[in-house]
Amino acid sequence: MKDKKTKAQSTLAKDLCDNATGSVVTAGDITERQRAEEQLCQQSAVLDGINKVLLETLTCESQEEVARTCLAVAEKLTGSKFGFICELNQAGRFDTIAISNPGWDACTIPETEATLLLRDMEIRGIRGRVIKEERPLIFNNPAFHPDWGGTPEGHPRITCFLGVPLKHVGRTIGMIGLANKESGFVLADQQAIETLSIAFVEALNRKRAEEALRESEERYRSLFEDIPVGLYRTTPGGQILDANPALVEMLGYPDLESLLEANAADIYVNAEDRQRWQTLMEREGVVRGFEAQLRQHDGTIIWGRDSAQAIHDGKGRVLYYEGAVKDITEPKRAEEALRQRADDLAALYEASRAFLSHLDTQTIIENVCRLAVDRFRLKMAWVGLVVEGSFDVHPAFAYGFEEGYLDSIRVTWDDSPTGRGPTGTAIRIGQATIMNHIESDPNYTPWRKAAKARGFRSSAALPLRHGEQIVGALNVYSAEPAYFTDERVQVLQSFANQAAVAIQNARLFEQVRVGRERLQTLSRQLLEVQEAERRHIARELHDEVGQALTGLKLLLDMSTRSPADEVAANLSEAQAMISELMALVRDLSLDLRPAMLDDLGLLPTLLWHFDRYTTQTHVRVTFKHTGLEGRRFAPQVETAAYRIAQEALTNVARHAGVSEVAVRLWTDQDTLSVQIEDRGTGFDPEVALAASGTTGLAGMRERAVLLGGQLTIESAPGAGTYVTAELPLSDPLKGEEKGK
């Protein structure tokens, strides 16, 4: 409205002015009239200038542009060649805002230097006079003025100068200078510029305020955009009003728009966290260092630390909340890992102490399972041991939420469906094996149903290693999927390694103890056997051989004194006695050790022995064998097999009460096996083995064990007996067959 009015006025003034210049007036007091008209025209031009300054500067980009516009108006109005506008800076010196184009063009100072010269200039010369006197001054012959300080080199000569201070609320803030009006400056010029200066100051100030505002907005925006902290504004209801890119990225949203569609409550993993935040905010108006779990767009959980404040309107009502969130997932994780690490070390320490305090395998295995479950927060743990010579895994102990799980499953360690679970794989490849998703892992199929029924979501198996050998696995189950991280498995493996060492030690200790006991029993038995043998030989020598020799001696004595016709009969009798004696000695020597065993090998010796055995005991031997023909084995293997068969047959004859016994002998690449089976009375092997001596079972077993083999006795009262010896042909130099 105001603008329009101003424009209307100025148009009127212009018309008057044009008329004035365009026509010749012939009035009485022409000078007076002319002066009045000139004055009116001047006023109109000033108004027009003010209008122009206020309007045109609205669209100016910068203060300099505003100042240039002002200068252009001032130069046109006064008819001066060039000019400048400058302001007083904080130090009370000049900062040039603009030099009009004719002035800039007139200036021959190189631009870079000129720019420097134009900033922070000392206030002196005729310009200094204007600032000092705080009023407009005209210098129509400046070079002769006492304040004249000259111009820099290359500056055009100044013929006349008009300086007008720029004032704001009565205070001088700068000045405008105009120069080189052809006819020199007049008072009208001074008055016009003084009037215009108010508009100049207004326009410049307005632009300055705008610039300051924009600058601060820009500064805020760039902070908001660039800061590596998530910034946001939300309504008390949780609507997200704004968020910076850092927050969008932190929460994993594709863009700002999709985040703005979410509600703050959706971001919190736990609803009570948001509730707590809200309560704090309502009570305190500010929240500091609030830590909570946040959910990313894809569901991933992160940790955030939030500081926020409520922004109120003039009446104290909450407009919105403004806050900053920092992603502290990593520190949290590190903190958690550190705590976990401390726990793990404590568990390992406890484990080593617990393991060291026992020397009983079963107790140690039980401790291993208990500690694993308690210290690693597991659902269940069990130790499976490899059954020697088979692919079966024997569950030695389980602890935790087992609920018959192990009875319902079968685990092996071969490369078959029952061997491709964590346990079998860990044993087969000798490395920790993780199944973090029982739900979906194809290798878990045979056990999935049973595992799911008990809430097992992930599982891992850690091999138990004794040197090169894997003796079993520690198997652990968690109710959480993906529970077995690399770090956790690493610690569990250390735990399992300790357990393996403890189990190994206990086993060795047991072996040593059992071995020592067995050795004691054996040496006692050996002595007994030796004594029995000696007694037997002594009796044979005395009773049989001795007696025969005595008889022979008597017979020969008699012959020397007999009449000639009886000598032949006596000698014939002596011959018969000698034959008997020879047979006796031969049998005795065969009982001690059949030479055949060395000369001819196991098979002929056994065949010979069976004949003799049947003759002596009337127990028939059914003999079957395979793979033995023409083969010789190491002497100790042949001896052991022969002695075991001999001993077992003796037992059958003595105790079984049968008339028939089966002997089987077979061999393959690396084992010689002999088995004696009867359908007789049977016995309890444990009892018989414990009652050392009489049956020689312990001795038989010892023979097999000494060669690295084994002897199994299966018998029960009334159910007959199987004695099976398996002897390795291991020693590659001596154990190879000699062939013939």
Question: Where does this chain bind other proteins (CB under 8 A)?
Answer: 387-392, 394-395, 406-410, 412, 414, 416, 418, 579, 582-583, 586, 595-596, 599-600, 603-605, 607-608, 611, 623-629, 664-666, 668, 673, 675, 712, 714, 719, 722, 724, 726
CB of 579 vs other proteins, minimal distance in Å:
5
| Selection from 139, 138, 205 nearest residue 166 by Cα | 205
Closest approach, Cβ 584 to other proteins, in A, equals: 11
Q: Are strands 433-435 and 660-668 parallel, antiparallel or unpaired?
A: unpaired
User: Nearest approach, Cβ of 431 to other proteins (angstroms)?
Assistant: 21
Q: Which is nearer to other proteins, 150 or 604 (CB)?
A: 604
Residue in this structure with the two tokens 């000139």, named with its chain if needed: 38
Instruction: Provide, rounded to whole angstroms, the least separation between the CB of residue 575 and other proteins.
Output: 9
Task: Give the phi and the psi of residue 613 in degrees, each rounded to 5.
Answer: -60, -45
Helix (H) or strand (E) holding 162: strand 161-168
- Distance, CA of 173 to CA of 167 (rounded, Å): 6
User: Sign (positive/negative) of CA torsion 16, 19, 20, 25?
Assistant: negative
Q: With respect to other proteins, which residue has the nearer C-beta, 115 or 626? A: 626
Q: Min. distance of Cβ 366 from other proteins in angstroms? A: 16
Q: How far apart are CA 736 and CA 729, in angstroms?
A: 7
Considering Cα of 679, then 680, then 684, then 687, what sign does the dihedral take?
A: negative
Nearer to other proteins by Cβ, of 242 and 392: the residue is 392
Instruction: List the 721-728 sheet strands across, edge first.
Output: 620-626, 660-668, 671-678, 721-728, 710-715
Residue 573: count of CB within 10 angstroms of its CB: 15
| Shortest Å distance, C-beta 381 to other proteins | 19
Question: What is the residue-wise DSSP string for 627-654?
Answer: S-TT----HHHHHHHHHHHHHHHHHIII
By beta-carbon proximity to other proteins, the closer residue of 124 and 410 is 410
What is the DSSP secondary structure assignment for residue 150, as one 8-state letter? -
Residue among 622 and 694 whose Cβ is closer to other proteins? 622
| Least distance to other proteins, CB of residue 613, Å | 13
Residue with smaller CB distance to other proteins, 304 or 682: 682
| H or E stretch covering 474 | strand 469-478
Please, which residue, 66 or 385, has the CB nearer to other proteins? 385
Pick the closer one to other proteins by CB: 3 or 407: 407
Shortest Å, Cβ 713 to other proteins: 10
* Shortest separation between residue 399's beta carbon and other proteins, angstroms: 17
Measured from the CB atom, the residue of 315 and 740 that comes closer to other proteins is 740
Helix or strand or coil: residue 477?
strand
Q: Return the number of the residue (225 or 670) whose C-beta is nearest other proteins.
A: 670
CB of 664 to other proteins, least distance (A): 6
Min dist CB 618 to other proteins, Å, is 19
Nearer to other proteins, 233 or 612 (CB): 612
Alpha carbon separation from 244 to 223, 228, 234, 241, 257 (Å, rounded):
9, 9, 12, 11, 11
Query: Own/partner pairs for 51-56, CB < 8 Å, 24+ apart?
Result: 51/3, 51/6, 51/7, 51/10, 53/196, 53/199, 53/200, 53/203, 54/3, 54/199, 54/202, 54/203, 55/3
**Nearer CB in complex with other proteins: 266/573:** 573
What does DSSP say about strands 469-478 and 380-386: parallel, antiparallel, or unpaired? antiparallel
Local structure of residue 143 (DSSP, 8 states) = G
Of 494 and 671, the one with the shorter C-beta distance to other proteins is 671
Q: Which residues contact 580 (CB under 8 A, 6 or more apart)?
A: 548
Nearest-approach distance from CB 293 to other proteins, in angstroms:
44
Q: Which is nearer to other proteins, 67 or 393 (CB)?
A: 393
What is the number of other CB atoms lying within 10 angstroms of the CB of residue 628? Answer: 16
CB of 660 to other proteins, least distance (A): 15
Query: CA-to-CA distance for 665 and 628, rounded, in angstroms?
Result: 8
Residues in the chain: 740
Q: How far is the CB of 395 from other proteins (least distance, A)?
A: 8
Task: Say how many CA atoms lie within 13 Å of 75 toward its Cβ.
Answer: 20
- Give the C-alpha distances (Å, rounded to integers) separating 167 from 134, 136, 205: 9, 11, 11
